[in-house]
Chain A
Amino acid sequence: MEFQVSNKAKMLTTVLMVVGVVFTALGVFMAMPGEGQESHLGQKFLANLLVNSFFYFAIGISALFFMALQYATETGWFVSVKRVIEAIAGFLPYGMGLLLITFLTLSFMSGAHIYQWMDSEVMQEGGSHYDELAAGKGAYLNITFFWIRTVIYMAVYYLFMRGFRQRSLEQDNNPEGAVGIHFTNYKKGALFLVFFAVFSSTSTWDWIMSIDVHWFSTLFGWYVFAGAWCSAMTVMVITVLYLKKLGYLPKVNESHIHDLGKWTFATSFLWSYMWFSQYMLIWYANIPEETTYYLMRIEHFKGIYFGMFFINFAFPMLILMSRDAKRHAGILTFVGLIILAGHWTDVWVMVMGGSMGPTASFGTLEIGMALVFLGLFVKVVLSNLAKAPLTPKYHPYLDESLHHEI
C-alpha cells in the first residue's frame, strides 16, 4: 500500500518549522548584546547548529547502520519494516548538508571558539592564545586534514545509503534477481559494518570530541554512537506505530513492535553502559587531564547532565522491562519521546560543555532551533516514506517476516 503524507502531518511539520524560526529569531533578538557587553551570540548560534545537525545526522547514519546490520546477519523479521528504516536513513543527505554547512561556517570563522584547533592564534607558536597542548595535536587536528576525513566519511556513507536504497527498490521489480540482490546487500552490509566500526569512532572524535581539545577518551566514539543508535531505534518505533495507527503496514504485528521495543531497551542499556564505563574509569583514576571534562559539566550542567543520564537509563529500564509494555503502543511512544529528548540533551551538553561552558544557557534560541530541525526531519522522513511502497516485494525473507511470531 502506498503511503501518502496526510495534510495534517504536512501542516504540522510546517507549523513546527515556522514556530521554530520565530523562536530562533526571538532568541537571537534577546541575546543581542547591549552596549559594552560581551556577545556570545555567534558562538551560541553555531554551537546549537552543530548540536542539531549532528543529532539528526546521527539518527540517519544509525538507521543506515541498523539496516546494514540486518543485511549482514541475513535477518528475516525486519523485512516488513524495512522501508521505514530506509526512510529514516534517507534523511542522511539533508543531515550531511546541514553538518557540512556548519563545518564550513566554523572553518571560515577560525572555529568560532567551538573548534579551538581551527584558530591559528591557538595552534601557531607566538600566537596570541598559543596553546602548546593543542598545538601538539596539530598533525591530526588541522583544517585541511579535517576536511579530507569529513568528505571521505560523508561520501562513503552517502554511497552506501544510495546503494542500499536503489537495490531495495530494484528488488520490487525484479523477482528473478531478488536473491542475487539479497546477496549483494549481504556483502555490502558486511563491508559497511567494517568501515563504520572504525570510522564511526574517528568521525566522532573529529566532530565532537575535538571541541574539548585537551581531553580525550578512547570509548567516546562508541558512547556517542550508542546514544545515536538508541535515538534511531525510538524514531523507528514511533514511526512504525504512527503508520500502524493510520492503518498502513497491516502485516506488521505485535511481534515486530515487540522486537523494535527490545532494540530500544537494549540500546538504552548499551548507551548507559558506555556512559558509565567512561565516567567510572575517569573517576577512579582521578587524573586531572581526564577529569576536566566532568568537572566542567558538574560545575555548570550538574542537574541537566545527571538528570539526563537518570532519565535515559531508568525510564526505559523500569518501564520497558516487561513483555506487555514492549507491545503497548502508548507506553512505547511515551518512553520513546522522553528518551529521544534525553539523548538530544546528551548531545547538547556534549557540545555546550566544551564550547560555551559557563556562558551556555537554555532558552528560546535552543528550543527554536531544535523545533526547526525536528520539523525538517519529520517532513523528510514522511516524504521518503511516500516515495516507495511500504511493504517490499520479492525479498527472500519477506514470507518469514510476515509470519513473524515470538
Chain B
Amino acid sequence: MADTVIYAMYDDDDVLKEGAKKLVSKGVKVTEVFSPFPIHGIDPIIGVKNTRLGIMAFLYGITGLMLATIGMNYFMIQDWPMNIGGKPSFSYLENFLAFVPISFEFTVLCAAHGMAITYLLRNKTLPGMPAQNPDPRTTDDKFVMELRLSENHNFSAEQLEAILKDTGIVEIDQKEIK
C-alpha cells in the first residue's frame, strides 16, 4: 500500500505539544510522536487510547497464583507430604498460611515478567529488533511528529506541510513507502 509519510521535527516538546493541539483542532490526524522521553499530556491530544497493560498484569498475576498453588499442592502435599511447622496435617488448606508468601511472590514474578515482555513485544522493541524511529536524533534532543496521507484524506501533502510550517518546526521530511 503506497503511502506518503510526513516527518516534522521540533526541538522543543512544548512547541510540539502546541503544534499537535493546533493540527488536531484543524482535523488532522497525528499518527505518532517520537521523543527521547515521555511527553507529559501528549496522549489525550493525539488520541492515544489508555493502555490495557493493567488488565494483562491482572491476568498474568492470576495465572501465577494458580501455577503456584497447583505446584505447591503437588510438591508439598501430594507427591511428598511434608510436615510443616510441626503440624503434620497434610492438607493444603490447613497449611495455607505457609504457602501465602510463595503464592504472593510467584504472582508478582509472573505479573512483572509478563507485563515487561508484553510491553516489549507490543512496541516491537525486544532486544535486537530493528529501530522504528525515523531519525536517530529522536533518541537525543529532537522530537518528530509523524503524519500519514492515508489517514488524512481531506488534505493534500502540500496543505499538511503548510500547516506544519506554522507550528514552529525545525525540519521537515517526506517519504514514500510502498
Q: Which residues of A contact B (CB under 8 A)?
A: 276, 279-280, 283-286, 321-323, 405
Give every chain A residue within 8 A of B50 (Cβ-Cβ): 323
15 of the cross-chain contacts (CB-CB < 8 Å) are A276-B97, A279-B97, A280-B97, A280-B98, A280-B100, A280-B101, A283-B97, A284-B85, A284-B98, A285-B85, A286-B85, A286-B86, A286-B87, A322-B54, A323-B50
Q: How far is the CB of B39 from chain A (nearest CB, A)?
A: 13
Closest 4 CB pairs of A and B: A284-B85, A280-B97, A283-B97, A286-B86
Give every chain A residue within 8 A of B87 (Cβ-Cβ): 286
Residue in chain B with minimal CB distance to A283: B97
Alpha-carbon distance between A322 and B101 when the two chains are bound, in angstroms = 24
Give every chain A residue within 8 A of B130 (Cβ-Cβ): none
Give every chain B residue within 8 A of A285 (Cβ-Cβ): 85
Give every chain A residue within 8 A of B54 (Cβ-Cβ): 322-323
Q: How far is the CB of B28 from chain A (nearest CB, A)?
A: 24
Give every chain B residue within 8 A of A323 (Cβ-Cβ): 50, 54
B100 near A283 with CB under 8 A, answer: no
Is B38 part of the contact surface with A, judged by Cβ < 8 Å?
Answer: no
Residue in chain B with minimal CB distance to A284: B85
Give every chain A residue within 8 A of B86 (Cβ-Cβ): 286
B41 near A276 with CB under 8 A, answer: no
Give every chain A residue within 8 A of B100 (Cβ-Cβ): 276, 280
Q: How far is the CB of B88 from chain A (nearest CB, A)?
A: 12
Is B58 part of the contact surface with A, judged by Cβ < 8 Å?
Answer: yes
Give every chain A residue within 8 A of B98 (Cβ-Cβ): 280, 284
The prevalent SS among residues of A at the interface is helix
Alpha-carbon distance between A284 and B98 when the two chains are bound, in angstroms = 8
Alpha-carbon distance between A405 and B85 when the two chains are bound, in angstroms = 49
Give every chain A residue within 8 A of B58 (Cβ-Cβ): 321
Q: How far is the CB of B116 from chain A (nearest CB, A)?
A: 20
The proximity string for B residues 26-55 relative to A, scoring 1 for CB distances below 8 Å and 0 otherwise, is 000000000000001100000000100010
Alpha-carbon distance between A323 and B54 when the two chains are bound, in angstroms = 9
Residue in chain A with minimal CB distance to B55: A322
Q: With contacts A280-B98, A280-B101, A283-B85 known, what are 15 further pairs, Cβ within 8 A?
A: A276-B100, A279-B97, A280-B97, A280-B100, A283-B97, A284-B97, A284-B98, A285-B85, A286-B85, A286-B86, A286-B87, A322-B54, A323-B50, A323-B54, A405-B41
Residue in chain B with minimal CB distance to A285: B85
Give every chain A residue within 8 A of B85 (Cβ-Cβ): 283-286
Q: How far is the CB of A295 from chain B (nearest CB, A)?
A: 15
Residue in chain B with minimal CB distance to A321: B58
Q: How far is the CB of B95 from chain A (nearest CB, A)?
A: 10
Give every chain A residue within 8 A of B40 (Cβ-Cβ): 405
Alpha-carbon distance between A364 and B135 when the two chains are bound, in angstroms = 74
Residue in chain B with minimal CB distance to A279: B97
The proximity string for B residues 62-105 relative to A, scoring 1 for CB distances below 8 Å and 0 otherwise, is 00000000000000000000000111000000000110110000
Alpha-carbon distance between A322 and B58 when the two chains are bound, in angstroms = 10
Alpha-carbon distance between A279 and B96 when the two chains are bound, in angstroms = 12
Give every chain A residue within 8 A of B97 (Cβ-Cβ): 276, 279-280, 283-284
Give every chain B residue within 8 A of A322 (Cβ-Cβ): 54
Q: How far is the CB of A367 from chain B (nearest CB, A)?
A: 33
Give every chain B residue within 8 A of A286 (Cβ-Cβ): 85-87
Give every chain B residue within 8 A of A284 (Cβ-Cβ): 85, 97-98
Q: How far is the CB of A327 from chain B (nearest CB, A)?
A: 12
Alpha-carbon distance between A285 and B86 when the two chains are bound, in angstroms = 9
Residue in chain B with minimal CB distance to A281: B97
Alpha-carbon distance between A276 and B58 when the two chains are bound, in angstroms = 22
Q: How far is the CB of B38 from chain A (nearest CB, A)?
A: 12
Q: How far is the CB of A390 from chain B (nearest CB, A)?
A: 27
Alpha-carbon distance between A321 and B101 when the two chains are bound, in angstroms = 20
Give every chain B residue within 8 A of A405 (Cβ-Cβ): 40-41
Residue in chain A with minimal CB distance to B101: A280
Alpha-carbon distance between A322 and B57 when the two chains are bound, in angstroms = 11
Most buried by B among A284, A285, A323: A284
Q: How far is the CB of B50 from chain A (nearest CB, A)?
A: 8
Contact residues of B between 107 and 132, Cβ < 8 Å to A: none
Give every chain A residue within 8 A of B41 (Cβ-Cβ): 405
Alpha-carbon distance between A322 and B50 when the two chains are bound, in angstroms = 13
Alpha-carbon distance between A79 and B54 when the two chains are bound, in angstroms = 29
Residue in chain A with minimal CB distance to B50: A323
Alpha-carbon distance between A279 and B97 when the two chains are bound, in angstroms = 9
Alpha-carbon distance between A286 and B94 when the two chains are bound, in angstroms = 14
Alpha-carbon distance between A283 and B58 when the two chains are bound, in angstroms = 30
Give every chain B residue within 8 A of A283 (Cβ-Cβ): 85, 97
Alpha-carbon distance between A276 and B100 when the two chains are bound, in angstroms = 9
Alpha-carbon distance between A286 and B89 when the two chains are bound, in angstroms = 14
Q: How far is the CB of B97 from chain A (nearest CB, A)?
A: 5
